[in-house]
Structure 1
Amino acid sequence: MKKILLSFFLLIILVSCRKDPVMIKSGIETRVFGKLTDFHDEPISNLKIKVAEFKATNSGGLFMSVENLEFVDWIDSTYTNTDGRYDFVFKTTGNGNFYRLFFGERTKENEPQIIWDPFYVDITNGAHDMKYIGKEFEFNTINLVELYPCQVTLKVNNLETFPMTLSHSLTYFFNLKNIETNGTSIHTIYINKYNDQTLTVLRRKNGISQQALYKFPASNTEGITYQTITVEEADFKDVK
């Protein structure tokens, strides 16, 4: 009798987990709009914003519920204007039931970084949520960090320990190339215009981790800036 009850109980759980997702019908228009600024209230212009459509499947038993998201497609996009504002209307396709608004794009190697860090917000709070779909969705923020390229010329003199790696708090690691030999090399880091910057050169010498820190002041400038740094043996300190 106990085995029968246990089997019946498990069957209920399995059946309750099998829920075919209901798609939102096609052609429903939703307006998304807002304003993006940095933490000094300066507008973020020319930032790409796009809407992603997903298929959300609610699978839950008697004790838990899990929502699985399957990406369907990018269905619309725009760019912020000079005031940092965006305003556009997207249409549902009938192939999804969950929508996200993405701000900025995670760049690939050798592509410029625009903000730190790209992010998204959910337009829908769950599968087939219709709170905003067919109406309006507003999102504003004052916390973005806009980035500008800084071309750093590194002059490495009379060092014997290689390779050396670079590190910068706002620059993706794949945009920072190792230094393999003495000589002059050019590297692009991405900085904000308000704060002092620190570029770190790292290496291991005789099994000991070392770093050299190079600081330069805030640029207070939009667009590309330039720095020249001479790397000497005496600059490196053991990392404790």
Structure 2
Amino acid sequence: MRKICFILLAGIFLSCDGDPIEEGVETTIEGTIYDKQNEIPFENLKLKVAEYKVHRSGIYTNREFIQWIDSTYTDQYGEFYLKFKTSGRGDYYKFVVETKPNIWDYHQSVFEIPYIGKSLSLDLDLLHFYPVNLVIEVKDIEHLPVSLNLRHYQDLEDITTGSGTVERLIYADKNSDTEVAFGRKIAPNQYERYTVIIPATNTSELTNYNLTINNSDFKPTE
């Protein structure tokens, strides 16, 4: 009987959630978001704080999103100052950079705020991407659709026509070559791939890059 009671009490203990942080606790975060490679700040970039409630059950932890609790924008120098107060409903907070397709964030845009009720400093190095319009001549392509994939994920529409000209707008680091991988499915668990290297544009202006893909360009993936 004692063993059963102990197990029940242990289960209740492990399933208990912590109390929310009391309402009105003030935290400040300040810093600079800069593109060191291109030596320019990130202006008018939205920054926000997410509030969560942590739920624990045994060895499992679940973070329930409560709300976006506050936000701000970077100024012309990439500097920001964000002051927020706890609502009394949460006990876990994240600092989020609202990025766009033309921004690469080495840090995945999300940071845990380790201390609530204190002043924190956070400086970030991000990278500007610039537009490149791919003008793609498609020649007798089979096994459609063909997907386009970049190392830095971008949501690009598949190519669904076997012949003709299609255009896709991508964003790339102007100082480095960009790899674009075209992929298609031949059969269940059988795929082919064709990779094109787009040379560095060395400009922040929109540029066009013409390329041709043929059916024979695709090779089996390893």
| TM-score after normalising by structure 1 | 0.77
Distance 1:231 1:95 in 2: 55
1:236, distance to aligned residue in structure 2 (A)? 3.6
| TM-score after normalising by structure 2 | 0.82
Alignment partner of 1:149 is 2:131: yes
Match of 1:198 among 179, 191, 194: 179
Give the count of matched residue pairs. 218
Quick check: which one's strand share is greater? 2
1:212, distance to aligned residue in structure 2 (A)? 2.8
1:103, distance to aligned residue in structure 2 (A)? 1.6
Match of 2:64 among 53, 70, 92: 70
Q: Please report the RMSD computed on the Cα atoms of aligned residues, expressed in angstroms.
A: 2.8
Distance 1:156 1:18 in 2: 58
Specify whether residues 221 and 18 from structure 1 end up closer, same or farther in structure 2 by C-alpha distance, changes over 3 A only: same
Instruction: Please give the residue correspondences for 1:9-158 in structure 2 after superposition, counting only pairs within 5 Å.
Output: 9-38=6-35, 40=37, 42=39, 43-58=41-56, 66-105=60-99, 112-116=101-105, 118-124=108-114, 132-142=115-125, 144-157=126-139
The answer as to whether partners of 1:58 and 1:68 remain within 8 angstroms in 2 is: yes
Which SS does the other structure have where 1:22 is aligned? coil
1:91, distance to aligned residue in structure 2 (A)? 1.7
The answer as to whether partners of 1:116 and 1:170 remain within 8 angstroms in 2 is: no
Instruction: Please give the residue correspondences for 1:218-233 in structure 2 after superposition, counting only pairs within 5 Å.
Output: 218-233=200-215
The answer as to whether partners of 1:201 and 1:213 remain within 8 angstroms in 2 is: yes
Distance 2:170 2:8 in 1: 57
% of aligned pairs identical?
30
1:139, distance to aligned residue in structure 2 (A)? 1.6
Which SS does the other structure have where 2:111 is aligned? strand
**Residue-by-residue CA offset, 1:81-132 (whole Å, 9 max, x unaligned):** 3332221211211221211101225x6xxxx4533464211113xxxxxxx3
Specify whether residues 68 and 206 from structure 1 end up closer, same or farther in structure 2 by C-alpha distance, changes over 3 A only: closer
Give 5+ residue unaligned stretches, structure 2: none
1:238, distance to aligned residue in structure 2 (A)? 4.4
